[in-house]
Structure 1
Amino acid sequence: MGEDRKPKQRDKLRRHLAWRVARAVREYQMVGEGDRLMLCLSGGKDSLTMVDLMVSYRRQCKERFDMAVVFLDHGFPGFDGAFLHRHMAGVDLPFEVIRQNIWKTLQEKCPDGKNMCALCARLRRGALYAHAASNGFSHLALGHHMDDMVETLLLNLFYGGMMKGMPPKLVTRKGDLTVIRPMAFVAEADIVRYQRLAGYETAPKDLCGAGENEKRREIKEILAGWRKQHPGRVEKIFHGMGHVVPSHLADTSLFDF
């Protein structure tokens, strides 16, 4: 690919992805007038792309709302976040780094490495929720995409025996914070392609040393095989998450048989 073609292809793909974000925001009524959004940046390709696309969305939407970007420093050894500051210098949004030594807690609570991922997720979520609540944010935006949502559905179905996924929009139990996933209609392959065209520098993988969850890795391999052998199947599953017929399942709490 010629270097002179990259900007044009990047801009074309950005417009396509921004349209998908706009569709998700409107369909699930994610954002309204006067809201304050905290965009959660992890340093990976997904969250970096989400920030870019939300900036594009705000430029063209009618609603007026505020956004700020927050990065949670887990205290993982060897992590250098300088690239995030370089990246955010070119983004017209407030940027803040909050610190919580999650790594130390993981070492104390999970010395054998077992259940590290689950505990890390809970600690990370708690820190982000607390920061959003104490700083007046009404919404917390995460960089999960369509593949993440399908993976979570299959994980819960295969290993948990329940049909439970990752919703595009979720109001917390206290009702004071709304969690949104603006890239619900975006496929991971498009994010990979966009990151390559945009030349984003991303955080190294596996800083904690725990590796990818074995069950999630298995689901990822299944989805990758489906995408090659049965194009469109993953999208069909995602589509099915939004078209549920309770009378044709078996949950008595959803349908009075």
Structure 2
Amino acid sequence: MTAESFLDAENADTPMSDIDKKRKTRQNKLQKRLRREVGQAIEAFNMIEEGDKVMVCLSGGKDSYAMLDILLNLQKSAPVNFELVAVNLDQKQPGFPEHILPEYLASIGVPFHIVERDTYSIVKEVVPEGKTTCGLCSRLRRGTLYGFADEIGANKIALGHHRDDILETFFLNMFYGGKLKAMPPKLVSDDGKNMVIRPLAYAREKDIAEYAELKGFPIIPCNLCGSQENLQRQVIKEMLQGWDKSHPGRIETMFRSLCNVVPSHLADTALFDFKGLQLGFPHGIVDPNAAAGFRAESEEDTPKGNGDVQMMERIDILSL
């Protein structure tokens, strides 16, 4: 039984205080917002279809708990039938509370598997002391989960990355990798055997964190890499949080830009045929069909609204 459900049961006959009412109202508001954003992401990228078996990867963190909760909620009223199965990878980290996830998942009645792989020992053996463990850890975890998805017949793998993760990855690749590359909401693995979806792609981390606290999810911290405070991603996260605080709305605008790309105004010759531009043709494009992804900057292409995500047609950098 979750902390929230236990409190509800204990206070079933007790009138709700004003504080409890406010918490419940706030929780319902956040759930509706997250449900709407997850639904929009699923529809925009066609993440879940009729008959899908979705393997929901549960780490024990706030993001994956919230993802599972919202997907279970959507499953009840979705226009398509799909199956959900929760999977946790026990990486054998010292002190990992193995009982928490099985007890929680059993309490909410969702099918689940606990996959045991000692990737912790491999990471600690291979990565020198003081170096970042996240890269190797994520590759080992990803390989294990991909293989297990095949074993249980899951054709979709749901990960709990949110909008902030996507933006952080974008800036990490730009600042440290020299690439305009983010974290796609939908991805097919290199071998073509697995499809990864990120239903929280439109959701804000601060909303997820507050929702997780209000719901009382039994959070399990990651002790393998959680103490590495100087990670490049943490630097980027702090930068974005600073922008969000000093310039409200900037994060929303930046994410919208990932969904509205003008290849002709960048400098990637593999993405746009700059060499083939000629005078005498609209925008210099001789063959419009060869440049189907091109979009001229115009009033019609300018996103409008109050900052909500607006998916536009044409090319999408997240799919590149």
Quick one: which of 223, 237, 247 aligns to 1:220? Answer: 237
Are residue 166 (structure 1) and residue 180 (structure 2) matched?
A: no
For the aligned residue pairs, the C-alpha RMSD in angstroms reads: 1.5
**Separation in structure 2 between the aligned mates of residue 25 and residue 213 of structure 1, nearest angstrom:** 34
Distance of 1:223 and 1:89 partners within structure 2: 37
SS of the residue corresponding to residue 166 of structure 1 reads coil
Name the CA shift for 1:129/1:113 in 2 (closer, same or farther; >3 Å). farther
Aligned partners of 1:76 and 1:208 also within 8 Å: no
* Pairing partner for 2:57 from 40, 44, 51: 40
Aligned equivalent of 2:170, options 134, 137, 153:
153
Please report the TM-score for the alignment, with normalisation by the length of structure 1. Answer: 0.95
Does residue 254 of structure 2 align to residue 237 of structure 1? yes
1:11 and 1:121 mapped to 2: Cα distance?
33
CA distance in 2, matches of 1:77, 1:227: 36
Residue 84 of structure 2 corresponds to 67
Q: Which runs of 5+ in 2 are unaligned?
A: 1-17, 275-320
Give the whole-Å Cα distance in 1 for the aligned partners of 2:231 and 2:152. 36
Larger RCO: 1 or 2 (CA < 8 Å, sep 6+): 1
Partner of 1:200: 217
Q: Which one-letter code corresponds to 2:218 in the other structure?
A: E
Q: Distance in 2 between matches of 1:248 and 1:209?
A: 39
The structure-2 alpha-carbon separation of the partners of 1:212 and 1:144, relative to structure 1 and needing over 3 Å to count, comes to: farther
Which amino acid is the alignment partner of residue 229 of structure 1? S
User: Offset of 1:134 from its aligned partner?
Assistant: 2.1
Residue number in structure 1 paired with 2:109: 92
Quote the Cα distance in structure 2 between the aligned partners of 1:162 and 1:141: 25
CA distance in structure 2 between the aligned counterparts of 1:38 and 1:157, rounded to whole angstroms: 31
Once the two structures are superposed, residues 68-97 of structure 1 have per-residue CA deviations (whole angstroms, 9 ceiling, x without a partner) of 000000110011032212321232320110
Instruction: Give how far 1:111 is off.
Output: 4.0
Size of the aligned set, in residue pairs, is: 257
Q: CA deviation at 1:65?
A: 1.1
1:115 Cα offset (Å) = 4.2
Which residue in 2 is equivalent to 1:53?
70
**Alpha-carbon distance in 1 for matches of 2:221, 2:132:** 22
Match of 1:143 in 2: 160
1:39–1:141 Cα contact (<8 Å) kept: yes
Q: Report the alpha carbon displacement of residue 17 of structure 1 after superposing the two structures with TM.
A: 0.7
- 1:59 is displaced (CA, Å) by 1.2
Match of 1:108 in 2: 125
Alignment partner, residue 118 of structure 1 = 135
Instruction: Calculate percent identity across the aligned residue pairs.
Output: 44
Separation of aligned partners in 2, 1:168 and 1:41: 17
